[in-house]
Amino acid sequence: MTKVQHGEFTVERVLDAPPSLVFQAWSDKTAKAKWFGSGSQLDVSKMDFRVGGEEIVSGKWPNGTVSEFRARYFDIVKDKRIVYTYDLLIDGKKLSVSLATIQILAEGKKTRMIVTEQGAFLDGYDDAGAREHGTNALMDKLVESLKPAH
């Protein structure tokens, strides 16, 4: 098959944290591990957070499915913006190629985070909103990761 289906969505969160901590949740390997890829046993994890750098996260889920996220960073403005592309593979089959833009905006003592994704879903993979649902769940985990420990 050579079919491509396109989709776009935007997810927003207002976080009770300064932009520097929100940026760190995306840019620091240890901070990101607290919310990204949880639920799977990570096999490969590489993070070279710089323009031109790559990130690779591969994990095996409890049902045996192996997912792989392969990203390349194209634009980074500290504490303000991150733009990257990524491939998503499931059990070795490429499902999609996406462009993700993360905007980090100060709002008083809080931060508005706007995540926009534009995806090309490949060869019969019908996303039907699954990526948006998954991104919403990930952003909820990111918010939780920034809450102070009690």
Structural domain containing residue 121: 4-39+75-145
- Mind listing the pLDDT tens digit for each residue in 54-108? 999 988 888 888 889 999 999 999 999 999 999 999 999 999 999 999 999 999 9
For residue 118, give the CATH number of its domain.
3.30.530.20
Whole-prediction pTM value? 0.90
Residue 54 maps to a domain: no
| Alpha helices per DSSP H over the chain | 19-27, 29-33, 130-145
Q: Is residue 61 part of a domain?
A: no
How many domains is the chain partitioned into structurally?
1
Mean pLDDT (the chain) is 90
Asked if residue 64 is part of any domain, the answer here is no
Q: Is the residue at 67 inside a domain?
A: no
The CA distance from 81 to 87, in Å, is: 20
pLDDT at 2: 79
SS3 56: strand
* Contact by Cβ (8 Å): 46, 137: no
Domain assignment present for residue 130? The answer is yes
Which of these ranges, 31-40, 43-52, 111-120, 135-144, has the smallest mean pLDDT? 31-40
